[in-house]
Chains A and B, each alone.
Chain A
Amino acid sequence: MSDARLSGPPAASRRRWSWTDPKLRSSVIQIVLALIMVWLVWSFYANATANLSRLGIASGFGFLDNRAGFAISQSLIPYNESMSYGRAFVVGLLNTLLVAFLGVILATLIGFVMGVARLSKNVVIKALASAYVEVTRNLPPLFQIMFWYLAVLSTLPGPRQSWGFGLQPLLGSIGSGLSAIGLGFLGNPLSGFAAGLSAPSVFVNNRGLVLPRPIFEDGSMAILYALVAAVVASVLIGLWAKKRREATGKPFPAFWTGLALIIVLPLAASYAVGNPVSIETPELRGFNFVGGVRVIPEFVSLLLALAIYTGGFIAEIVRSGILAVSKGQSEAAHSLGLRSGPTLRLVIIPQAMRVIVPPLTSQYLNLTKNSSLGVAVGYPDLFAVFAGTTLNQTGQAIEIIAVTMAVYLTISIVTSMIMGWYNKRVALVER
């Protein structure tokens, strides 16, 4: 039986309305503050709209439907100047996401390689990695973007003198190389064979990288299905292989099997439905190449600069993460007979991840924010297209700056959430 005196009256009714109650006091203050905030924002909004309409300045989001009128040099979706500002916004957003996404991947790869290399016992590798980290972290990102753009990519030859790549020049040069070192019996037929192949299809010039474009005709869906099937199968095989290894200790080359599936299945599907994919090769016509796809130098220089700059910081994070794992761990691994490669991969890095992931997140966010520097080399990201050209053209600063800030904020929050989730996963490895 419960004793009424012991449980007492419900807590709430016992609380007195008093300023000395810290909990109550703080919630009252918070409510008052929130009300003040709401009032501030509202009066800000009311004042701004009143002033705007008094001065005859347009406001609201109606402009998003108006014709943009300007061209954008890189677009992942169909776009031309007769489309709307809203469409231009999406084009800019996708361009920002593209460079940020690829930049994060590249920077992470560079950072891990360099971070590990800085701890190498090989003096040369160690010195190179240290030099890399020191140089890239200390040069401002804008400078690095301009460097790649003006000092490297713009020195490439013009469209008419493009460097062409393809099977033909490669085989041809191997052939002539062989002939040059006295292996003419091998080299000559090879050169002859190469000359018979069609012209090069990949070009590099100061207008960018021009690649052949696959054109998907009817039936191409089969290839996509095959690809999806291959990916699913690889994942399943990977899971199965892991389970089996844990149960029996027998290894299975899941990675290679998956890779083979991903390559072979779509090819087989393509063959089965009669090769529905044709290739459009770029052709030099007039000022530039026509056809194919082109990766513009503005994008390349921004991507390289962001990846290399952020890569330097990530290298430092990785290095300190590895150093944070106690030496005993690698000694124990070695005494179990693991070589240094697998020790690093299976023992050190997984533990280092716990230290690495949180600061890594802020590097990813930095990279995304720094991508707005691309405007200096004419890369049409969200900042350039929307907060730049569109703002200038429409004059609707309030709406555009608010939307732009909201977008960057959203990207940051989503990135942080993904990294937070990943952090929790790696944190479980703790023992």
Chain B
Amino acid sequence: MKRILFAAVGLLSLAGAVNAATLDEVKARGAVNCGVSQGLPGFSSPNDKNEWSGLDVDFCRAIAAAIFNDPTKVKFSPLSAKDRFTALTSGAIDVLSRNTTWTMSRDTTLGFNFAGVIYYDGQGFLVRKAVGLKSAKELQGASICVQTGTSNELNVSDFFRANNMKNGEVIAFGTIDETVKAYESGRCDVFTADRSQLAAVRLKLTNAADHVILPETISKEPLGPLVRHGDDQWSDLVKWVYFALLNAEELGITQKNVEEQVNSQNPDVKRLLGTDGKYGEGIGLTADWVVRIVKATGNYGEIYDRNVGPATPLGIDRGLNNLWTKGGIQYGMPVR
């Protein structure tokens, strides 16, 4: 019913004239409306006091810090996979930062712009250890639980078809909790999602050690934040918050040392931190926007390590998500 509501609001807003300067609205409102997941440890999950944390959450906090110099000025809307896009189209949220895969249709016909890839991922399979599987190729005839409205729902059908595996069944559930419960209750042999989500879900299961993630990665899942079509300034702002986080890491600017770095003579650092030039004004902010971001959330590497890195329960190595200078593919465009 929530979807009907979003859709109805969406219809009305589409029928009305949407010519919004999102940044002005956000400033007037005093908070960024940020769409996140309904609870995925490491990416976006609330604690008992309804305080959100995670990689996707910190990205929204970075936006808020850039605008308001206050990372708490974010209103989080937990969204299931199938409700997330209507929420963004209808204007209920300003940015969707919810482990969402950048695909062509979403970037074009659905009417969104992706700001970047905050986490390079791929789809995998979670199974019970007791079944004794070695490879996803042995999944012939299995029952598979998946969350509806995800790219995973599409990939899994393709994978089975491409490998000529028949007789399986794919059961699609509305929310992550329903999907996990069905897998746990034995309704399915397999739970499929992006590997990072499998790692997070595995931690939620009663006995994590009884479950394994199979070695195969069956798709590319570049996850990133996205905004509506039609407001280039806002789109630029979100995109450059992402690049700023990467550039800060590359230049060694951290939450701890950012105050000193303001005095740095390195020309790259000076441009990034706004002591040389006024690049921040290009996105409707002030020159020192990156100082505010890094003070609030740290750089990309710090956000990663705090939420999903090896020292966290998720314990995921940087891998592809390392900087390009360290063997990964994360690459911040230059501030110039």
* A residues at B contact (CB < 8 Å): 43-45, 47-48, 51-52, 54-58, 69-71, 73, 80-82, 150, 154-155, 158, 206-207, 285-288, 290, 296-298, 375-378, 380, 384, 387-389, 391-395, 397-398, 401
Cβ of B323 to closest chain A Cβ, rounded Å? 33
Let me know if A287 and B111 touch, CB within 8 A: no
For the complex, give the distance between the alpha carbons of A375 and B178 in Å. Answer: 10
Let me know if A81 and B141 touch, CB within 8 A: no
Closest 5 CB pairs of A and B: A395-B110, A154-B185, A57-B111, A392-B149, A81-B157
Let me know if A154 and B187 touch, CB within 8 A: yes
Most buried by B among A48, A80, A81, A397: A397
List A contacts of B105 (CB < 8 A): 393-395
Cβ of B206 to closest chain A Cβ, rounded Å? 14
- Give the nearest-CB partner of B174 in chain A: A375
Let me know if A51 and B18 touch, CB within 8 A: yes
Cβ of B148 under 8 Å from chain A:
yes
Let me know if A397 and B141 touch, CB within 8 A: no
Let me know if B11 and A150 touch, CB within 8 A: no
- Known contacts A56-B111, A376-B178, A388-B82; is-contact A401 B230 (Cβ 8 Å): no
- Known contacts A154-B186, A395-B89; is-contact A290 B154 (Cβ 8 Å): no
For the complex, give the distance between the alpha carbons of A5 and B89 in Å. Answer: 71
List A contacts of B106 (CB < 8 A): 395
Let me know if B169 and A73 touch, CB within 8 A: yes
Partner of B170, one of A45, A73, A155, A393: A73
- Known contacts A48-B11, A48-B14, A401-B11; is-contact A55 B228 (Cβ 8 Å): yes
Interface string of B4-17 (1 = CB under 8 A from A): 10011011001111
Let me know if A150 and B185 touch, CB within 8 A: yes
- Give the nearest-CB partner of B230 in chain A: A55
Partner of A69, one of B16, B108, B154, B228: B154
Cβ of B253 to closest chain A Cβ, rounded Å? 36
For the complex, give the distance between the alpha carbons of A43 and B185 in Å. Answer: 51
For the complex, give the distance between the alpha carbons of A180 and B140 in Å. Answer: 43
Let me know if B172 and A57 touch, CB within 8 A: no
Question: For residues 132 through 165 of chain B, which have their beta carbon under 8 Å from a beta carbon of chain A?
Answer: 139-143, 145, 148-149, 153-154, 156-158, 161
Let me know if A389 and B186 touch, CB within 8 A: no
Cβ of B278 under 8 Å from chain A:
no
List A contacts of B173 (CB < 8 A): 375-378
Let me know if A297 and B187 touch, CB within 8 A: yes
Let me know if B171 and A73 touch, CB within 8 A: yes
Cβ of B182 under 8 Å from chain A:
yes
List A contacts of B168 (CB < 8 A): 287
Let me know if B17 and A394 touch, CB within 8 A: no
Interface string of B101-112 (1 = CB under 8 A from A): 000011011110
List, sorted by A's number, 30 A–B pairs whose CB atoms are closer than 8 Å. Answer: A43-B15, A51-B15, A51-B17, A55-B230, A58-B109, A73-B172, A81-B158, A150-B185, A155-B185, A287-B139, A287-B142, A287-B143, A287-B189, A288-B167, A290-B167, A377-B178, A378-B174, A384-B148, A388-B3, A388-B82, A389-B148, A391-B82, A391-B86, A392-B148, A393-B154, A394-B109, A397-B7, A397-B89, A398-B14, A401-B4
List A contacts of B187 (CB < 8 A): 154, 206-207, 297
Let me know if A47 and B11 touch, CB within 8 A: no
List A contacts of B85 (CB < 8 A): 392, 395
- Give the nearest-CB partner of A387 in chain B: B3
Cβ of B218 to closest chain A Cβ, rounded Å? 14
- Give the nearest-CB partner of A288 in chain B: B141
- Give the nearest-CB partner of A384 in chain B: B148
- Give the nearest-CB partner of A372 in chain B: B1
For the complex, give the distance between the alpha carbons of A415 and B48 in Å. Answer: 47
List B contacts of A58 (CB < 8 A): 109-110
Most buried by A among B89, B106, B161, B186: B186
- Give the nearest-CB partner of A52 in chain B: B14
For the complex, give the distance between the alpha carbons of A287 and B81 in Å. Answer: 28
For the complex, give the distance between the alpha carbons of A267 and B303 in Å. Answer: 73
> Dominant SS at the A interface?
helix
- Give the nearest-CB partner of B84 in chain A: A392
Cβ of B42 to closest chain A Cβ, rounded Å? 24
> Dominant SS at the B interface?
mixed
List B contacts of A52 (CB < 8 A): 14, 111
- Give the nearest-CB partner of B81 in chain A: A392
Let me know if B171 and A298 touch, CB within 8 A: yes
List A contacts of B16 (CB < 8 A): 47
Let me know if B178 and A378 touch, CB within 8 A: yes
For the complex, give the distance between the alpha carbons of A73 and B169 in Å. Answer: 6
List B contacts of A51 (CB < 8 A): 14-15, 17-18
Most buried by B among A51, A377, A392, A401: A392
Let me know if A47 and B17 touch, CB within 8 A: yes
- Give the nearest-CB partner of B113 in chain A: A56
Question: For residues 64 through 112 of chain B, which have their beta carbon under 8 Å from a beta carbon of chain A?
Answer: 81-82, 85-86, 89, 105-106, 108-111
List A contacts of B140 (CB < 8 A): 286-287
Question: For residues 171 through 229 of chain B, which have their beta carbon under 8 Å from a beta carbon of chain A?
Answer: 171-175, 178, 181-182, 185-187, 189, 228-229
Partner of A44, one of B15, B139, B142: B15
Let me know if B161 and A82 touch, CB within 8 A: yes
List A contacts of B11 (CB < 8 A): 48, 397-398, 401
- Give the nearest-CB partner of B185 in chain A: A154
Partner of B14, one of A47, A287, A290, A394: A47
List A contacts of B149 (CB < 8 A): 388-389, 392-393
Partner of A380, one of B3, B172, B178, B185: B172
List A contacts of B8 (CB < 8 A): 401
Cβ of A327 to closest chain B Cβ, rounded Å? 45
- Known contacts A55-B111, A384-B148; is-contact A392 B185 (Cβ 8 Å): no
14 additional A-B residue pairs with CB within 8 Å, beyond A51-B18, A55-B18, A71-B172: A51-B15, A51-B17, A56-B111, A57-B229, A70-B170, A71-B157, A81-B158, A207-B187, A287-B139, A287-B189, A389-B149, A391-B82, A394-B105, A401-B4
Let me know if A392 and B14 touch, CB within 8 A: no
List B contacts of A287 (CB < 8 A): 139-143, 168, 189
- Known contacts A70-B153, A81-B157, A401-B4; is-contact A47 B15 (Cβ 8 Å): yes
List B contacts of A393 (CB < 8 A): 105, 149, 154
Most buried by B among A45, A287, A288, A375: A287
- Give the nearest-CB partner of B13 in chain A: A51
List B contacts of A395 (CB < 8 A): 85, 89, 105-106, 109-111
List B contacts of A70 (CB < 8 A): 153-154, 157, 170, 172
- Give the nearest-CB partner of A51 in chain B: B14
